[in-house]
Amino acid sequence: MSNGTALGAEWVTTRLRRAGLAVDAVRMRLLTPVTVSSRMQAETGEGDWSFLHRPAILGFVAVVAICAGASLPSSPFKLEMTGTWFFGEPGSSAGSQFLLLPGVVAVYGGMVLLTRVWYGLLQNLRVRPGVPVSKLMWMFALWVLPLLVVAPLFSRDVFSYAAQGEMMSHHINPYLYGPGSIGSGPYIAPVDPLWLNTPAPYGPLFLMVDGWFASLSGHDARITVFFLRLLSVLGVVLIAYCVPKLARAHGRDHGPAFVLAVLNPLTLLALIGGAHNDAIMVGLLLAGITAAKYRHPVVGVVLCTMAAAIKVPAAMGIIYVAWQWTPSGASVAASGWRRRVRPVTLTALVALVVMGALSLASGLGFGWIFNLGAPGTVRSWMAPATAVGFLVSGALHAIGLGVGLGGVLTITRAFGLMGAAAIAVVCLRRAESYGYLWALGMSLLMFVLLGPVVQPWYLTWGVVMFAPVLVQGLTRAFVIGLSVGASFIGLTGGEQLLSELVHANPIAMVLAVAVLWGVAVMPIGRWNSWPIDPARIKSALSGPVTPEAAFD
C-alpha cells in the first residue's frame, strides 16, 4: 500500500509539474512568440503559408466594401461634387437618401472587417515568423487595388494639392498666393473654402512634382488627382521596402513589422485612400533612416532632406541620422557631445546644400517656412492642446471673464508644443538606450498629439517608425489602439452623417446595426487564432519533465 501511495504521489507530482510547465509554456509563448514558433518550425519544417490566403481575400472584400459604400451617391465619406472623379457622381436626392444607409453600413462594416483581419494577421505572424516578404507584398497589392479606382476618401486635401500643382504649371508661386488665385474651374471647385486663399505650407520638392503632374495630365484635374494618388502609393511602397530591412537590422521578425506599418488600416485608408503627401514624406524619411542604418549616412541625410522638402516634420530624421553617425576614426570613448560635432556639422552642410538645390530648382525659394502655421487654422477637438483651449475658454466665459478664444488657444498650443519639444529632447539624449527608431517615432508622435492639429494621417509618422522595433509591450498596444481608433474617429462627414441618420427609417437603422454587429462578431476562420498544433502540445507534455520540453 505504501508503495502504491508513493507511486500515486509521484504520478500526481509528475502531472502537476507537467501542468506547471504547460502553463509556463503558454506564458512564454505569449511573451516570446518568435522563439517558441522558431522551435515549432524547426521541429516540423513548417513552410506552408497557405493560411495567408484567407486574410488576403477577407481584407480585399473589406476594402471593396469600403470603396463601394463610399462611392454611392450622397456618401459623406467623399466629396459629393460633379466632375471630381471618373464615377460616383451625385445622383437624384431620392436615390441618394435611399442609398445612404447601405453605403454607411458598407463603409463601417468594411472597416470593422478590415481591422479584425489586420489585427488577427498581426497576432498570427507573431508566432509564425519568417513569412516571405513577397507573400505580404502580394497581399498589399490586392488590398490597394480597389483604392486606386475609388474617389479620394475621408479628406479633400488632395484637391488642394492638385490646385497648387496647377498654379505651379502656370508659374504662380503657391507660397505667396492661395489656390483661389487661378480663378474658377475644375481645379478650384473641390478645394475646401478654408484653403482657397491660404498659401501652401509644403516643401519645394512636393510642389515641383505637383506642378509636373498638372502639366503631364494635360491640365485635367481628375488625372492630376490620380497621379497624386499614385505618388502616395509610391510612398507606401517605399515604406514596404524599408520596414523589413530595418526590422531585420534590429533583430526583429519582418512579418509583424510589415503588417503593423504597411497593411495598417490607417496607412491604407488615410495615406492611399486620402492620397495624402504624408505617404511620400514618410517613405523618403524611412528610406533615409534605412540608408543610415546600413552605413550610408550621406545618402540617409539626402533622403531625409528630400522628405523634409515634402513636409517639414521629416527634418527630425536629419537630426537622428547625425546623432547616430560616428565617422571612421572617431573615438567612441570620447564625450558624447565631442564625438558628435563633426557628424552634426557634416549633416547640416549636406542638408543645406540639398535643400538649397531643391529650392532653386523649383524657383520657389524658402517662402514655405513662413507658411508652416497654415494647418493651425483648423480648430478641432481631436487635438488635446486645442481641446484644452476650448475648455479653458468656455470655463472663463462661464465665470464672466471675456477672454478671446484665439488668445487662449495660442497659450495652450504653445504649452503643447513646448511639451512635445521637451519630450523630443529627452528622446534624443537617451536614443542609444531607447533605440533610435523608437526615440524618433515617439518624438514624431508627440509633436502630432501635442500639436495644434491632429489629423489621422499625421499619426502614421510615428506608427511607421515604431513598426520595425515593436514586438510587444505597452507601446505596441498603444500603437495598435491608436491605429484602430484614428481610423474610425478621423472619418470625415460625421456631422452630416449624424444629421441624415436621425431622419432615417428606424427599422432600417436596426437592421444596419444588426449587420454591423454581425460583422464585428462573426467567426472568420481558424487562421485568426494562435496557430498551436495540439499534437505538438501533447508531444511536449508526454516527454521528459524539463523546461525545454515545454517549449518544443
Q: What are the residue ranges spanned by the domains of the chain?
A: 11-45+526-550, 53-85+107-378+469-490, 380-452
Q: Are 213 and 165 in contact (CB under 8 A)?
A: yes
Q: Are 368 and 201 in contact (CB under 8 A)?
A: yes
CA 42/CA 228 separation, integer angstroms: 46
If you average pLDDT over every residue of the chain, what do you get?
A: 77
Most confident of 5-19, 349-363, 497-511: 349-363
CA 361/CA 205 separation, integer angstroms: 9
What does the pLDDT read at residue 75?
Answer: 76
CA 455/CA 487 separation, integer angstroms: 10
CA 364/CA 368 separation, integer angstroms: 8
pLDDT band at 176 (very low <50, low <70, confident <90, very high): confident
- CA separation, residue 384 to residues 177, 379, 412, 476 (Å): 31, 11, 9, 21
pLDDT band at 493 (very low <50, low <70, confident <90, very high): low
Give the contacts of 395 (CB within 8 A, at least 6 positions apart).
none
Residue 273's φ and ψ, nearest 5 degrees, are -60, -40
pLDDT, tens digit, for every residue of 205-258? 999 999 999 999 998 999 999 999 999 999 999 999 999 999 998 888 888 999
pLDDT band at 73 (very low <50, low <70, confident <90, very high): confident
**Selection from 14, 538, 457 nearest residue 236 by Cα:** 457
Residue 178's φ and ψ, nearest 5 degrees, are -90, 170
pLDDT, tens digit, for every residue of 247-297? 998 888 888 999 999 999 999 999 999 999 999 999 999 999 999 888 888
